[in-house]
Amino acid sequence: MKVAFYGHVRQYHNIKAEIDANIQRVLESGEYVQGPMNKQFEQELAAFSGTKYAIGVGNGTDAIWLALMALGIGQGDEIITNANTFFATAEAIWITGATAVLVDCDPKTKCIDPAKIAAAITPKTKCIIPVHLYGQCADMPAIKKIADQHQLFIIEDNAQAIDAAGDTFKIGELSDAVATSFIIQKNLGTFGDSGAIVTNNEQINKGARLLRSHGSPARNVHSFGFNSRLDDIHAGVLSAKLKHIHEWNNQRIQWAARYTAGLQGAKSFDLPYATPGYRHVWHLYVIEAKTPAKRDAMVDFLVKNGIDAKTHYSIAIHRQPGFPWGKGARIVGALTNAEHNAASCISLPMFPELTAEEVDYVIATCKEMDAAFA
Residues forming the site for ligand PLP (CB under 6 A): 59-61, 85-86, 88-89, 131, 157, 159-160, 181, 183, 193, 195
Identify any residues that bridge with 269 across adjacent strands, giving them in sequence order: 289
Distance in angstroms (rounded) separating the CA atoms of residues 101 and 92: 13
How do beta strands 345-348 and 285-289 pair?
A: antiparallel
Q: Which residue is nearest to ligand PLP (CB)?
A: 60
Q: Which residues contact 23 (CB under 8 A, 6 or more apart)?
A: 233, 236, 237
Q: Which is nearer to ligand PLP, 160 or 213 (CB)?
A: 160
Cβ atoms of residues 127 and 73 within 8 Å: yes
Q: Which is nearer to ligand PLP, 96 or 160 (CB)?
A: 160
Cβ-based burial of 132 (10 A; exposed 0-12, middle 13-18, buried ≥19): buried
- In the bound complex, what is the minimum distance in angstroms from residue 141's beta carbon to ligand PLP? 21
Half-sphere exposure (Cβ direction) of 333: Cα atoms closer than 13 Å = 22
- In the bound complex, what is the minimum distance in angstroms from residue 185's beta carbon to ligand PLP? 7
Q: Which is nearer to ligand PLP, 159 or 369 (CB)?
A: 159
- In the bound complex, what is the minimum distance in angstroms from residue 99's beta carbon to ligand PLP? 18
SS3 of the chain: helix, strand, coil, percent, to 5:
40, 15, 40
Q: Which is nearer to ligand PLP, 213 or 305 (CB)?
A: 213
- In the bound complex, what is the minimum distance in angstroms from residue 304's beta carbon to ligand PLP? 27
- In the bound complex, what is the minimum distance in angstroms from residue 266's beta carbon to ligand PLP? 26
> Which amino acid belongs to residue 9?
V
CA 319-90-231 angle, 5° bins: 130
Q: Which is nearer to ligand PLP, 195 or 349 (CB)?
A: 195
Q: Which is nearer to ligand PLP, 15 or 183 (CB)?
A: 183
